[in-house]
Structure 1
Amino acid sequence: MSNISNAGTHLLGEKSVARIGYGAMQLAGRGAFGPPKDREAALTVLREAEAAGVNHIDTADFYGPHITNQLIREALHPYPDELVLVTKVGAFRGTDGSWLPAQAPTDLVRGVHDNLRNLGVDALDVVNLRIIEGNGMAPAEGSIEERFTALAELQRQGLIRHLGLSNATANQVEEAQRIAPVVCVQNHYNLVHRADDALIDKLAEQGIAYVPFFPLGGFNQLQSETLSVEARQHGVSPMKLALAWLLARSPNILLIPGTSSTAHLRENLAAALLGLPQDMMSRIGEAIQQEAS
């Protein structure tokens, strides 16, 4: 199994975590809705990730809903002291699998308690507010004071240890920081989708983790001729090279690639071993930006 410590560590809350973690979204059924096709395989992936040194797992109680958290609890509870479970609130699922906003303070409180119950813990390590503004798909401006204050109150009550944001603008990060400390920001970012370059650098200066979701393109895998050519030249898969590029991009980036396959898990974790030169990574990033423009 790959030694993920080769990629280094970064602080997430009060704990130092390996920079390659695991995203649990794909453990549920298609579209993160319903039960997994193979429950035992899902449990095996979680246990293998933990055995490989993964100590940062990203989840949400609206994956399933409830199912992903219940799988994590069944596979890993009682949790190792070094494991950081990061969840998010701000949405719920319709009976047809649709994604619906749950942004009212009462919704957020309910979401926190759902996570506590299904993960089987007395306090959540990190809770991200999943911000939904505009069409909900991309960050959009809008005050989050009421929403983030509701979570900060739960933090004061001892139900949440640390707070973060998901799908946030730079202005929303600053607004949240005036209410309570922010330990991570989780936004859409990868080799092709680079809108958060300035935000990543600003967070790095503050020692705050940046966690890209869809690091490999999400439901539609990254497509880049440049990436494919470079990967062939170095004898690795394009997806492994894309993860290695993110690790080289900034030391505050924490990866949470998701999979329901142990084979894909091993390949994702092996990105820590590439160790390709920084100048080469910079060149790849510039070439892919030009390709996409």
Structure 2
Amino acid sequence: MAETQLERAVALPPSDLAKERPRTRPPRRRRGNPLARILTWAGLGLATVMFTYPLLWLVSASFKPRSDVFDNKLIPETFTFENYLTVWQEAPLALWLGNTAVVTVLSAVLVTLSSAMVAWGFAYFRFRGRDLLFGLVLATMMLPGAVTMIPTFLIWNGLGQVGTLTPLWAGNLFGSAFYIFLLRQFFLGLPRELFEAARMDGANNWHLFTRIAMPLCKPALVVTLLFEFQAAWTDLMRPLIYLRDSSTFTIPRGLKALLDQFGFGGNWHWEIVVTASVITTVPMIILFFLGQKHFVRGIATTGSKG
């Protein structure tokens, strides 16, 4: 009887067995077209310059005297730190930064938690009318902000909150349709068997949400947090509507006041305006670099869920 391949392999010593194994070459990595790669890098470089030039110009102008602000040179001929000293004297930037930090943190945390709860309900629980209700939530995204602006103002005015910071963050207690959709798509990608096993071990719905779902969806939660942080930090419309006293101004509202006073107001001290803009932009840059890893991961994985 002919010797089988398995018996032959067992009978051979390790050295001979290695010789008997067919050698497979690793697949060669295809080299792309050099011209295409050059064009790609050139396009990326051009896009980088286009996006970073305004910020570089702003930083450069903040170190220039009044007469050289618009000379369109990235390297100042006359380098000065006086603008950064003057802006703190002319405007209560520390107070405005504090107000903005309070509003931004409360807005980002509250909308992330509330949206995650609603998204978890739509993703995990199965009940009659779930798809219809979720469709109604998404339909609210089609309403322009101008439609609800006056009714919302009347509500806060009736509650006596106009002139305070409360209307800038309290609305996020009810979540956001966009964030609910974003987080629901991520929750749908989690294996349901994992939650069923945890339920058999005695976990209730709250434990499933806080101890399993939220830790697994950390990238998506970070994306939601960063999105709302940026939106609240740069929001100007609501502060213009609800804030009256300069002691309650946020950074965007304060910059509008500086622009009216030193820009178009007649003084034409644009070096003060650009310096204040640089100071208020730095926290967002720092936040992005701190959360860049989770932000990129969350965007990439969220797009592949559901």
TM-score, structure 2 length as denominator?
A: 0.22
TM-score, structure 1 length as denominator?
A: 0.22
Q: Name the one with the larger strand percent.
A: 1
Q: Which has the higher contact order (CA 8 A, sep 6+)?
A: 2
Q: Name the one with the larger helix percent.
A: 2
